[in-house]
Amino acid sequence: MNDILGDLSLASKPVDEVRPVEVVEELADEEDIDDDGYWMSPKLSSLARLSKKELSEVNGFTVGRKNYGKIEFSAPVDLTTISLEDITNNLVVFTPKSCIIYPEAAVKPEVGEGLNLPARITLEGCFPYSRDTKLPVTDSKHPVVKRHIAKLHKIPETTFEAYDPVSGTWAFKVEHM
């Protein structure tokens, strides 16, 4: 399950469920965001100062990319076997409507190790588009939005949490990557 979002172009039954989701808040100061928009919390400079024991159990570890989304790990993360500099835009890759963890299958660890842990993922800009206007549909009562939400509920190996049609922000949980 490397490509978390998958294809949302398939038709499905309407769903009347629209729940608000928080827009991804910036957890990092502008200077903590790299040239590609990636950030971590705790930030890289703070992680670099931790002892090996402290790095073996980092609680609340989050990786994000400005205007794309974030992944919040639900369990403590052992960062002792991971190059901290490789986390953003290498081990965790955000693209439009997608979050890919371990894009190279050869480096993916067993479930429960490294970043292969339960997490909550929030993706921005996950709008359905009107066939007529080719513009995002943001009206929660529109049938296209209802079908879109139904599709989000059916994405394999994810647990739907919320979708905000105004911001296009979708939140869901995964048990592992």
- Express each pLDDT in 26-82 by its tens digit: 444 555 788 899 999 999 989 999 999 999 999 999 999 999 999 999 999 999 999
Q: What is the mean pLDDT of residues 145-170?
A: 95
Q: Is the pLDDT of residue 23 over 90?
A: no
pLDDT of residue 91: 94
pLDDT of residue 29: 52
Q: What is the mean pLDDT of residues 144-159?
A: 94
Give whole-number Cα distances, 97 to 42, 52, 73, 89, 158, in Å: 24, 34, 19, 15, 14
Rounded (5°) CA angle 108-111-114: 55
Amino acid at 12: S
The string of pLDDT tens digits covering residues 29-43 is 555 788 899 999 999
47, exposed or middle or buried, with CB in 10 Å at 0-12, 13-18, 19+?
Answer: middle
User: Of all residues in the chain, what percent carry a pLDDT higher than 70?
Assistant: 82
pLDDT of residue 101: 93
Q: Domain 30-174 belongs to what topology? A: c-terminal autoproteolytic domain of nucleoporin nup98 (3.30.1610)
Q: Is the pLDDT of residue 123 over 80?
A: yes
pLDDT of residue 9: 32
Reported confidence tier of residue 13, pLDDT bands at 50, 70, 90: very low
Rounded (5°) CA angle 33-100-154: 125
Q: Is the pLDDT of residue 19 over 80?
A: no
Summary mean pLDDT of the chain: 84
pLDDT of residue 1: 44
Of residues 28 and 105, the one with the higher pLDDT is: 105
Q: What is the mean pLDDT of residues 141-154?
A: 94
